[in-house]
Amino acid sequence: MLKILDRYIIKTFFGPFFFIFSVLFFIFIVNIIWVQLGQFMGKGLSYWQIIKLLFYLGISVISMVLPLTILLASIMSFGEFGERYELAAMKAAGISLTRVMTPLLGVATILAILLFFFSNNIIPDFQKKAKNMLFNIAQTKPALNFTAGQFIDQIPGYMVKFDKIHGENAENLEGVFVHRKASTYENQQSIVAEKGKFVPAANSHFLKLELYNGYVFEDNFAGKGENVRLKQPDQAIKFDTLVSHFDVSEIIDKAIEKEQITDDYRFQTYNQLNQTIAKSKKENQMFFNNIGTDVLSQTNSVISYMDKGNKHKATPKAQIKLDTIKGDKKLEIIYNSYNRLENLKSTLETKKNEFSSNVKYFSKVVIYQQRIVSYSVTCIIFFLIGASLGSIIRKGGMGLPVIIAIIIFIIFYVMNVGVENMSWSGKMNPYLAAWLPNFILLPFGIWMTYKALTDSQLFDAEKYKALFKPITKRFSKSKEHQRYQ
């Protein structure tokens, strides 16, 4: 059973926890909106679809938001305990700092375990939904949104321009220009009309446009040569009324949430990623062996050509010297040797790029898998750091604790990105890269906990002033009493 003190400590912790989590989650969502804003514009998405996509994307940032929330909430909680002299009262009553930290350490452990199951079982599904939705949005052509005086290619296969657009529903047009984007094997066609009007079509998948008083300009040399095109005159047909239908089903019928991508490693659980890693290892080994065979074969071919004519000679002295060969034959041998060496160099460069790509993919899969566990451990490490710092600085609120938490998180994030890039380039083992930030921060967290348990004056300004006083005293003038001078 939880004692009254434990319930009070937990209650004090969860007050700032929920507030900070909400603020950080909102900040990360705003960042996602800023990055993805270009994909939303002009796509005809409803507000519900945009909210749903942001929710899918936002779920994946919880694995980063939760450790930072625990760090900041623990600093603020223990800072408030110290600022209100509650820690001093607890110590005076014989309650050690370890006893005060125990209930929140249990809470941090439970949150870390929940984060593991959340990252392993829930985030992959939402990653799948978000990536497919983004892919479908990218494939969707912009919604019909005509602007007067501008060329617009939103109608599939056509380029249109309207000088003026007016009417209650923007259905009346003036100065209409319609050009069909034809291929080499199709006739080119352009339509110019004084006026036009959008009218409802019988089939909702088509856009119906009535044009008045204009011309149809069309050639008749589909698939013909350039010479024929130059000689062939354009055909102009005058009309009083012309009705055109444009197929816009590609815009209307696009399924925004249709799942077309299913084989991404981010859609897999921890155990499923083990199989993907094993498969990637096997493929990389086969690829590396094939590279060795191909390059060795091509190298031997180059050497054999350069030694051509020497295989019948018994001793090295009998080998043909390049200087003894006549000019044309000499240039031919040099030129062919150069081409073979260039081909070998190009092959090596291509194989290097392919292998680097395979290494990068393997590192991404391993790091993603290991971070399912490592971010959970980060929660506990951040709690140790936050609780210790809070009890030492003894400041609550949103001032100094927030600054310190942000600095620690930035250091953690920079380390994450740095080792990740090193792993992608093949300079670091991906398993080490996933855990190295935790390995660096864990000793710091243990050291900070030790300092807090021993009542260290780590952030006491007076202590540092006294430490540097002998140095500053040398550069300051001695002020003597001048009353009797």
Pick left, alpha or beta for residue 144 (phi over 0 → left; psi -120 to 50 → alpha; otherwise beta).
beta
Burial class (CB in 10 A: 0-12, 13-18, 19+), 485: exposed
pLDDT at 460: 56
What is the per-residue pLDDT across 214-245, written as a single tens digit (0 to 9) for each?
988 887 665 566 666 566 666 788 888 888 88
Q: How confident is the model at residue 435 (pLDDT cuts 50, 70, 90)?
A: very high
Name the least confident of 74-88, 123-137, 239-253: 239-253
Q: What is the CA radius of gyration of the chain?
A: 36
Cβ-contact 148, 164 below 8 angstroms: yes
What is the per-residue pLDDT across 273-287, written as a single tens digit (0 to 9) for each?
888 888 888 887 777
Is the model's pLDDT at 341 over the cut of 90?
no
Is the model's pLDDT at 314 over the cut of 50?
no
Cβ-contact 387, 74 below 8 angstroms: yes
Phi, psi of 315 (to 5 degrees): -125, 160
pLDDT at 57: 83
pLDDT at 359: 81
What are the b/e assignments for 56-67, b being 16+ CB within 10 Å?
bbbbbbbbbbbb
| pTM of the predicted protein model | 0.64
Is the model's pLDDT at 148 over the cut of 90?
no
What integer best gives the mean pLDDT of the chain? 77
Mean per-residue pLDDT for 122-129?
88
